[in-house]
Structure 1
Amino acid sequence: MRVRNGIRVLRQCRLGSFSMCAAAAVAVLVALTIPAETGAQDSSTTEKSHSLGVNLAFPDEGVGEGEQLCVALFPSTSPDLNQPPLLSRCLDPGDAAVSFEGLRTGDYSVLLPGPGSDLAEPRYQGQLVATSIPDDQRLESFGIDVDVGLAEDFAGTTGRVQVSVFGCPAGTDNGANRDDWAAECQALAGGVFLSLSGTGSINDAAFQATTGRSGDGSGMAEFTNLPPGAYELGSELPENVTNTPALFVASSIDGSLGSLDPSDTLSLRPTETVAVDVYLVLDRGEPTVRDVVGTIDPGITGGVAASSDETLILLD
């Protein structure tokens, strides 16, 4: 019989040596099964790998076209940032989350902006966020939320509020349905005095404007170079409208925010643009309506006092 190299062939047992052959067969069987069992034990005790998701909340519109923001992962909570990161992931325009796979339990640090970031301007503050993956084999995925901060040079007076005022036919009442208000109230309202006043930490911020009467600015007023914070929108309503205007708000960061109660405040973040649509309903039966949008005290908002002969001016 020819035997290939490296393969051992057991000798055949003679008829009179049955017990020895049986014992040998059992020994071979046991020897063959032991490594398999050992391997099964090893695989069951192998540490699982985990994933870490990082969700970013931007103070502005986030990564723009042609830009790239990278997030780097370092081992330990006190990493040597002069060394290359353990892993790195980059966000494309419109993205707001990254994921790091194949991680063991332990401490980590997330750095942003990380190496490889390519932004039109260095507007984001550098951050090193410590986190850890606990030693829990039942869990595979973990996540952290990170508020991205603006660099000091970009965190100043960068917000704006745009207000558009529309006149509505008498009796208009569409509740919280903005589309119905927009469909019925297409006349722009010019010459409406508006005020924007800060509250809390920016209570010394006060601004005034009047909606335009002609051109592209008809029925509109804009407040620019605003510090972030909470604001009250105020106005002395013309005498020929009801005192229950409808307000709807949209954010350049969050999109549509729905309706706004006149007594509520506007929240403004750095670089954010908040657009407010105000719908005033004509009411010929109330010739001396004088109310304030956002507060009942003109002294708080700096509202401009209206004379008794002021009326809503509707523009074509």
Structure 2
Amino acid sequence: MTLQKRTGKPNEPASDDYPKTRSHLAWNDFEIVLAVAVAGSLSGASRAMGVSHATVFRRLGEIEKRLGVTLFERSRTGYRPTPAGEELAETAKVMDQAALAAERKVAGRDLEPSGEIWATTTDSLLMGLLAPLFTEFRQHYPGIVVDVAVSNQLFNLTRREADVAIRPSNRPPENLIGRPLTTIGQAVYGHRSLGLTPGEPISALVDQPWIGAGPRLLDSKLDQWMDSNGLKPACVYRVDTLVGILSAIRSRMGLAVLPCYLADSDPDIVQLSDPIPELEFGLWFLMHPDLRGVVRIHALMDFLTEAIRAQKQRLAGPRLC
């Protein structure tokens, strides 16, 4: 780029008024140059930018001083750009067009988020909580497709096995961005046909057959709770999904601990205890940090946050008295 230097006397030392090194131009500097070039006058540029004539005059002078070049030739008929001024004005046009295009693109995404979201969750959460919420989300955001992977294992979000996870956890991974949604309560349940009285102490239920969590369910707290209450010897069946445990209760296999949201909707299953404090767990919306600015991800997160927190009491589980 060829810049028109300000002229001075030969061998004249540089004035302290001029910077010895050039500073980078900011976007509003380019705006000033473009406005003056388009309007051909300071007054026209000031009207276009909504600032005073004096402000345009001062800022243009500062830009020329900083660059050490003359950007406009002044005359009674107005301001005419020098070659350097024309070059900066053309660059400013390109920048302005790019900024407008980016603004339109982002604004369009905000108005109509679209694309695909890979989500992972558990079978029990999908069946007992999320399936109707995903349906409602689809009605609000028809341009977003949610692809759900059901698993009791936490997919590796860092390796993009999934975009987001809706997971029960009391200690979510530190490398993920998380939003706590609510607290999930768990209680003891049994089939109505057993004729058991709700509210009896756990010690009175030791003689009943019990259903436990299989090792792949990764519920160590439940295992410890059953051990501390002497229920392990009474365990006659184990299964590695909560939906499988629910099915076993329906089949009159025995008693078991389940999340209240999963069991309370079944009229044949009776809640036999209050929610057990040491077995409650948090429900989290998790995503990789790189996805924090993706509009469709935030649309799902915000929607689920509001919808799930509205069911806070149900998810925490009812007390018997």
Normalised-by-shorter TM-score class: under 0.3
Greater relative contact order, per chain length (Cα 8 Å cut-off, separation 6+) = 2
- Higher strand share goes to which structure? 1
TM-score normalised by structure 1 residue count: 0.26
TM-score, normalisation: structure 2: 0.26
